[in-house]
Amino acid sequence: MMKNMLVTIAIILLILWFLGVIGVYTIGWFIYILLILAIILFLIRIIQGRNPLR
């Protein structure tokens, strides 16, 4: 009984660790894309002659 419980806990922790690794990379790319988008929009506002901070 105890061995099955330990195996179950180990599997759950392994799955959570794997999801965490994937999540970090996914969120990292998402933030990178948002940063690039913000820079592009900032430059477009400057080129159009508008105040980029307003």
Q: Tell me: the pLDDT tens digits for 35-44?
A: 899 999 888 8
Distance between CA 47 and CA 42 in Å, rounded? Answer: 9
Task: List C-alpha distances in Å: 3 to 6, 11, 49.
Answer: 5, 12, 69
DSSP label at 42? Answer: H
Does the reported pTM lie above 0.85?
no
pLDDT digits (tens, 9 = 90+) for 2-37: 778 888 888 898 888 887 777 777 777 877 888 899
Q: What is the DSSP secondary structure assignment for residue 13, as one 8-state letter?
A: H
- Cβ-count burial of 45 within 10 angstroms (0-12 exposed, 13-18 middle, 19+ buried)? middle
Q: Report d(CA 43, CA 35) in Å as an integer.
A: 12
